[in-house]
Amino acid sequence: MQKTTSYMVLISEVFDFTNQQYIKNIFLVLVGSAILFLSSKFRVHIGPVPFSMQTLAVLLLGCILGWKLGVLTVFAYLFEGALGLPVFAGTPEKGIGLAYMMGPTGGYLVGFLLGAGITGFLAERGWDRNCFWMVIAMLLGNIAIYVPGLLWLGNLVGYSAAIEFGFLPFLLGDLLKLLIAALLMPYIWKLVLSRKDNP
């Protein structure tokens, strides 16, 4: 039943969206794209390669906003980058705009859309309220990011190099982010629902 029943996503449970929904959605997209920008610049040094928190932000935004608004938020972020704003992890040092987006990380950027859509879709079925299902949702979201990312990178540098430099060094960081999300989302839901039951 958990996989087929429709659930309210976290943002709709916390805030009332019955009035001025379009204005609130625009606000959420702008805030979400700002979070994606900030997460791309925040580096964590664990293991051989530092990693950003951006994939965590992408997948959690999908869970929090739902798949439609989550994908729209990522699209807005990518549009900002395409316009030349230095919102990506490697900008402006490694280029800006479409030139950067067509580079080695281009496939991962496309994967952000898929990842947010998948976790948002699964959150609408209650997967973000349970640690086990949240782990599965994060795994699927990460796969959705890595598949186009590695295919694109492999086309540029070869698939062995893509695995070596675009996948293996980030496994530890992705595992850490997966565990954070799997613990964080069910805990937030528990707090929200307990406050709703005991106003």
103-151 pLDDT per residue, tens:
999 999 999 999 999 999 999 999 999 999 999 999 999 999 999 999 9
Identity at 17, one-letter amino acid code: F
What gap in Å lies between CA 9 and CA 122, rounded to an integer? Answer: 10
Asked if 86 contacts 151 with a C-beta cutoff of 8 angstroms, the reply is no
Range in 53-57, 93-97, 129-133 the model is least confident about = 93-97
What's the pLDDT tens digit per position in 96-105?
899 999 999 9
Residue 155 lies in a domain: yes
| Structural domain range at position 95 | 10-197
Q: What is the pLDDT of residue 17?
A: 65
Is 33 domain-assigned? Answer: yes
> How many domains, the chain?
1
Q: 94 in a domain, yes or no?
A: yes
Any domain includes 60 = yes
Collect all residues with Cβ–Cβ distance below 8 Å to 168 and sequence separation of at least 6. Answer: none
Most confident among 2-11, 37-46, 67-76, 97-106 (mean pLDDT): 67-76
CA dihedral 176, 67, 126, 108 (to 10 degrees): -20
Domain assignment of residue 2, yes or no: no
Query: Does 5 reside within a domain?
Result: no
| Rounded Cα distance, 110 and 88, in Å | 13
Asked, for residue 19, whether it belongs to a domain, the answer is yes
For the domain that residue 183 is a member of, what is the CATH number? Answer: 1.10.1760.20
In a domain, 3, yes or no: no
pLDDT above 50: residue 2: no
Q: Please state the pTM of the whole predicted model.
A: 0.90
CA angle, 121 as apex, 105 and 155 as ends, to 5°? 25
User: What percentage of the chain has pLDDT greater than the value 90?
Assistant: 73
Residue 175 neighbours by CB distance under 10 Å:
12
